[in-house]
Structure 1
């Protein structure tokens, strides 16, 4: 019933005003602002009720806007005044004689603890909030990801898909920027998603899907931004939760979220220790053919490989911080994050090699890789709310240091017709990454309008030391290969931005402009002389480069409120895709003698212009979101595979090279729709559908790589509350077929099931889930080029069973995901959140 009060009051106020008899006194205006008492944040849709003392049936009022402000006209008289918000304690002023316009000032509402556990929407219900520049998915309690990773949880977020190798896409586009708590982070591995497959999913509070980023955000990422907000409890006293998990194939995990909060400070700490042995594998069937201008034909016309992968991952992560409240309006937060990972991967390839239709030889290749990662990050955040109107100054300082040490032994043997050694290689890869970030923002509200200005500097250096030693089969001595090199890569970005937003009745807009200067520097240290470099890399490759790019990135976001629960949004933004160090390193690296990846230092940034038209409608039990989007990207990146003439191994096998290039243009158009349906307290349904078409054009080495592809993906989730506090959840996901100029991929279907039960007086929860019940998350693809074709199948991880137990202390069930989790990363005001 409370959900209908705001609409009822608005209708009443229009009716009363329309029926006001001629000659009555002038109306008076009652204004004020409503803030959340705990987080000092505006509360949108709080309800103001004016009830006449002399005539209690005469009720008028209104609701607060996105800034928490209200302004209501009424006839002079005696009123009982109430301000209400679901699950919050009501503010009352009785017997108020209102004879002239009156400002009630700032009213602080606090949580009603007695009602907290009875309110379904707190921590349990999956909801979506729409801002001018993003959608916020409060993912609630998803028991299918209990014991899973952040990467698994992202695959349940609308618009997002995660492929079998962990690559994250937004609306089918992999060029998505990943932020943690609004900033680049060592948690995301400096652009890599590997760390997200190690962090526990229960660390997530919500995910912000930003498909039309405002000027406040970094312009990187042509697909948009995913901002992962981690949990940080704000309840007074000492509280927390412990999550344990055990699974098959071998997997175990223990993590904790602990908080100690007083009126003056908040200490928060997250610890996690995990161990996993996820088996995977696949096969490939490669066919080689000779072109007319080839002088040497491949010795084998067909090679079939069966691959088996066994990984062993041991990981530890820690996040500790303290938030100190200097005054009621200012705070300083210091945090330290560390991640240690020790991984061991063994990949075995059994190859059958054909001449014609006859198997003439058989080989066995093993790759034994050990990888040690260490990430450290120190961050400081200062925030000062300069006044009650929302004027705010923030400053962020962050330093990250990441090291990666990989040692791989690759051995290949003939097993038929002879049993002898073909090759033995030792590969040492060391990578050090340092990143320094400074950012400051100033927000100035001006009535319903808001002005904002800020600066951001991001300075990153990556040093990649690649060493390849090959065994000389004649001398039985390891020799240093010519591919050995040290590549130093710097990416420095300085940015200034400003944006202005305003609201006129039901219409709001946010316009911004961002100026970014990007410097890309590369330097290679190698023992090769210039002539040898040209022979190895090509005559046009410059191994030492220093490039500067200056760009303007305008943004515009509009929203029109058709009704209280219905709106239309329109967004435009310009984005950039900067090549990462791996893509730009000119020296080849290889996973085997026949598969080589070579970066391209001539890569230029890609630029994209994107438009997004969205619609949202809320009913009492149903929320519908939909959008139509269009994007055109120039200088887009494409990885092409080539098998050049005479590029063969010593025993006559064709070498396949993968090279990234700027492939002219990429156009993408699509539509998506999502529905959240809660027909009753025991059933929740959630579904989404995304359909898109993309077209690329361009050529490389005389070959056309133009292609047009239509694809789609859909997901469905249902959650049922059974008797005895048992919950059942089913998640289904399907990614439709896709293709580019060289490769066609079949569709992929996966199904996850979970069941949970609350025990120990709701302080504990026991859950069992199955990930990929049908064991069907496999990438099946076909690649065709002028020199070879390849049929392949790959499975990153097989079906997984998990049993988990969560214990909460001094923390009611559902409260850990409260309506808002405060802190610097949460400081959203008016027209969008910051990054």
Structure 2
């Protein structure tokens, strides 16, 4: 605990010390750019400062998502020019340079109708942008994501890794919260459900490694926010995409938008079919007897998906907007598997062999609906109030038939049937209020109430004398009821080159789980404080520093708490633990950002200290490996992160992402001591080539190192994705081709040792090839475009 206060004190002292060295010579100009008709902010507009004497360019910046900008200069004679595609540029010359801070207020740009009708310009934005508390990754630059799902796109984002089972990790830690448009979504509750979100639908992905107190404290390693496209240009605009792939990866999507003076109507629709094959091998060995069970097989996840989003923005007045939106997704799953089992004696001779086949069918309807009200007060551009209510509903009706057929040796003939009736209802209510008291002081406050009501009715039946009989030891109805009430307050101070934000979040959690059949309940109630501190200092136009601290929590979810399991491989069983407690993390980081000519470079140092760490512990009995999550001690992680973008030529760009950390584990479980240390690293290298004839080529290489785990080792692996893109039809159409895992070298391999038993596990998805076409109509652009608002 003393370490937390030391780091917080250090950050505050570091921040306030910068007040003494802020240059008194600089002049800072701020303002906000809006479009004339709708008074909506214009993001990514260009703001350029010119020398009044020579006419030369001094410097330039682009506007933020809310249309605001900030630019500094030591020159005393200057003027400003603001421009954006499709709008008439504006020049401002009447500026008083004697003031150290000049607020130009709201700047209105008029739409250039003639330019929009005659010329389509493809805007270019950086693939990765740094802000005070997050990094923004623009999906439009990721060619190898053609036909991909959100999970596959995430795997190309710096600092993010997604294994072949769909587990998402950030900086090597899986304690990450995934949001859609800044809010929890039913599509993120199940990793496979993100498959219904295609790359065409994603505008950008925000990586928040140290969230402020404004955000829900869930997620010990941070937050990943997937922002879905929503066009706001006047008139009727749209785009559609068509994708096909091997193995089956076929989808079609359409995006439509109609904007008038009072309404902005938007919709996105998609449907398709995806197949995810997997080859796997498992070996469980009893070292004392020398016997082992070897299983090899192939399983398939084939899903048809339908997804539709409908919504409208209603502009009540110039300063108030009401948004109503809804999303419906429906999946039809078919999950066959065929696994060959062999029982070996101490001399590796086969004593028995049998085959286990599975036929699984499931339907998954998912609903989400949201009502949002936002009011911008006239006294200040950042003075606003936001109210939102979100509802989510997900159900799964799943049936499986398992058949064991003896090939040789001991009679293993058996038939089993399982049934799962799953239902989840979630409700979130939020209030956020921002009040600036001056140009340098700002207050943010708000509250959130979240309700999670989940039920899972699971039943296993064995075929006995021609009739299915329920196995009472493997059947139960598990109920999960969690309520979290949170409130936060943040104070911010920003002067010229330096800024500081400090906040505190209070959360009250009430959780009750019940095993209905056995009438066993577990109740938890706890209150926690989550402080956060963020600071940034601009040393020069080329060098900036950012520092941050936040406290986080990882509450066990339904999968970690539910004790019942899938019996696909009944020698490798994964189940939950209803007595699991949440884990808590203190996270610190310091990042330096360099912008030098053609190169941008970011180097960061981070530290995480986690208590009540949740780990899966394997227990072996009769060559059956049963893994269950447990709270096992503490983990201290110290790491470095390096990102750079370099363009040695106009036609060639490199992006490099490197992450390395060392960790020290302390803990015991029952009589076993789990004290150990180790390290791990991952890297990504992307090379993008702009070729003649409007052709772009991209290659993305990934490497993940070997890493020591609580009971064993996970192996290293390296894999490559490539993509090529050709613009056609006056740049309104785009053809994409991508190959993911070119050499089929992406796999998951682990070794586990416990007492007198060992387990080996290996699996691989294989190569995926996809080709896609997208086309923009009206004032729309092909759906490969992404990054910032477009008008």
Relative to the length of structure 1, the TM-score reads: 0.85
In structure 1, the partner of 2:255 is 257
Rate the CA distance shift 1:440–1:673 in 2: closer, same or farther, 3 A.
same
Match of 2:627 in 1: 658
CA, structure 1 residues 263+639, in 2 after alignment: closer, same or farther (shift >3 Å)?
same
CA distance in 2, matches of 1:434, 1:15: 54
Report what 1:478 is aligned to.
469
Match of 1:789 in 2: 758
Structure 2 residue aligned with 1:799: 767
Post-superposition shift, 1:505? 3.0
Q: How does 1:427-506 map to 2 (within 5 A)?
A: 427-446=418-437, 447-472=439-464, 477-506=468-497
Q: Counterparts of 2:527 and 2:771 in 1: how far apart (Å)? A: 52
List runs of 5+ in structure 1 lacking aligned partners.
1-13, 19-28, 291-296, 531-542, 645-652, 824-835
SS of 2:453's equivalent in the other structure is strand
User: Is 1:577 the equivalent of 2:554?
Assistant: yes
SS at match of 1:277: strand
Q: CA 1:115–1:678 in 2, change beyond 3 Å: closer, same or farther?
A: farther
Contact 1:50–1:61 under 8 Å retained in 2: no
Deviation at 1:103, TM superposition (A): 7.0
Q: Do the aligned residues in 2 keep the contact of 1:50 with 1:82 (CA within 8 Å)?
A: no
Q: Aligned pair 1:350/2:318, yes or no? A: no
Q: Secondary structure at the match of 1:140?
A: helix
The structure whose Rg is larger is 1
Q: Please identify, of 477-486 and 332-341, the stretch whose mean Cα deviation from structure 2 is larger.
A: 477-486
* Inter-CA distance 104–672: structure 2 relative to 1 (3 Å threshold): closer
Verify the 8 A CA contact 2:42 2:63 in the aligned structure 1. no
State the alpha-carbon separation in 1 of the partners of residues 463 and 24 from structure 2: 91
Kept in 1, the 8 Å contact 2:125–2:787? The answer is no
Q: Within 2, Cα distance between the matches of 1:159 and 1:398?
A: 29
Could you tell which deviates more after superposition, 402-411 or 61-70?
61-70
Change (3 A) 1:755 1:127: closer
The aligned residue for residue 13 of structure 2 is: none
- Matched residue SS, 2:659: strand
Which stretch has the larger CA shift, 585-594 or 773-782?
Answer: 585-594
Aligned pairs for 1:394-413 within 5 A: 394-413=386-405
1:147 matched residue in structure 2: 147
Unaligned runs of 5+ in 2: 1-21
Change (3 A) 1:371 1:69: same
| Residues 318-717 of structure 1 aligned to structure 2 (within 5 Å) | 318-357=308-347, 358-387=349-378, 388-417=380-409, 420-446=411-437, 447-472=439-464, 477-526=468-517, 528=518, 543-587=520-564, 590-644=567-621, 653-717=622-686
Q: Distance in 1 between matches of 2:70 and 2:368?
A: 38
Distance (Å, rounded) in 2 between the aligned partners of 1:584 and 1:493? 17
Q: 1:393 to 1:364 in 2, by over 3 A?
A: same
Give the Å deviation of 1:588: 5.7
3-state SS of paired residue (2:539): strand
Residues 2-81 of structure 1 correspond to what in structure 2 (within 5 A)? 33-37=31-35, 39-40=40-41, 46-49=47-50, 51=52, 67-68=68-69, 81=79
Structure 2: distance between partners of 1:119 and 1:459 = 49
Q: Which sits farther off after the overlay, 401-410 or 632-641?
A: 401-410
CA distance in 1, matches of 2:90, 2:737: 43
1:42 shift after superposition = 7.9
Q: 5 Å matches for 1:714-753? A: 714-753=683-722
**Cα deviation, residue 611, structure 1:** 0.5
2:91 maps to what in 1? 92
Tell me whether 675-684 or 236-245 shows the greater mean CA deviation. 675-684
Give the deviation of 1:73 after TM superposition: 9.7
Note the alpha carbon deviations across 1:381-436, whole angstroms, 9 max, x for none: 11111124321000111111110121111221221036x55321111111100001
Q: Using a 3 Å threshold, how does the CA distance of structure 1 residues 497 and 15 change in structure 2: closer, same or farther? A: closer
The whole-number CA distance in structure 1 between the counterparts of 2:56 and 2:126 is 37
Query: What is the correspondence of 1:130-141 to structure 2 with a 5 Å cutoff?
Result: 130-141=130-141
Task: After TM superposition, give the deviation of residue 739 of structure 1 in Å.
Answer: 2.1
Aligned partners of 1:180 and 1:613: how far apart in 2?
A: 27
Please report how far the alpha carbon of residue 589 of structure 1 lies from its aligned counterpart in structure 2 after TM superposition: 5.5
Counterpart-to-counterpart distance in 1, 2:74 and 2:745: 61
Q: Do the aligned partners of residues 112 and 162 (structure 1) sit closer, same or farther apart at CA in structure 2, a change above 3 Å counting?
A: farther
Q: 1:206 aligns with which of 200, 204, 207?
A: 204
Would the aligned equivalents of 1:123 and 1:818 in 2 still touch at CA under 8 Å? no
Give the Å deviation of 1:477: 4.8
Give CA-to-partner distance per residue, 1:145-176, whole Å, 9 cap, x none.
11111111111110001111111100010110
CA distance in structure 2 between the aligned counterparts of 1:610 and 1:15, rounded to whole angstroms: 31
> Relative to structure 1, is the Cα distance of residues 632 and 45 closer, same or farther in structure 2, using a 3 angstrom cutoff?
farther
Change in CA separation of 1:124 and 1:453 when aligned onto 2, cut-off 3 Å: same
Assess if the C-alpha contact under 8 Å between 2:284 and 2:625 holds in 1. Answer: no
Deviations 1:80-116 (A, max 9, x none): 954335656432356x697998975422246778889
Change (3 A) 1:595 1:502: same
Q: What is the rounded CA distance, in whole Å, between the counterparts of 2:736 and 2:498 in structure 1? A: 46
Q: TM-score, normalised by structure 2?
A: 0.89
The verdict on how the C-alpha distance between 1:457 and 1:16 changes in structure 2, with shifts beyond 3 A counting, is closer
Instruction: Tell me the SS of whatever aligns to 2:141.
Output: coil
Q: Which stretch of structure 1 is more off in the superposition, 696-705 or 406-415?
A: 696-705
1:287 CA drift (Å): 1.0
Contact 1:668 1:695 in 2 (8 A): yes
1:312 Cα offset (Å): 1.7
